[in-house]
Amino acid sequence: MKFMFFKILKFAETHKDGFTVELENLSPVTEGIAVAYAETQNCHDDDGLRKCLEHAWNHGRVIGGWLDYESGVFYYDSVKIFPDDELEKAIEFGRQNGQLAIFWLTKQQEIRL
């Protein structure tokens, strides 16, 4: 897991606008609807990244990151990916996990909840 920690840190440096990747090979997830788990809410430092990595490894092996330009803080999330045709399920999961928004990767569109 230590190796993966440094790989994600390096990846985040070059993808400040945001990313969603599969942990096993760091390949970008470009389709579907990404919804963060409540358990990894507000993960934004080294300890937060470690928490996200552990959670993601046990829950679908997908992690995302994004920079909050207002605060300058980079956040990490363990995310669940829903197929494009399961928007309602993704919205419900997002609400159950206290999310303000979900991200439709296929359309590159934020959906506010």
3-state secondary structure of 10: helix
Over residues 13-65, the pLDDT tens digits come to 899 888 999 998 989 999 999 999 999 999 999 999 999 999 999 999 999 99
3-state secondary structure of 14: coil
CB atoms under 10 Å from CB of 77, counted, come to: 26
Please say whether the beta carbons of 106 and 90 come within 8 A: no
Domain ranges of the chain: 2-112
Average pLDDT, the chain: 94
Please say whether the beta carbons of 47 and 77 come within 8 A: no
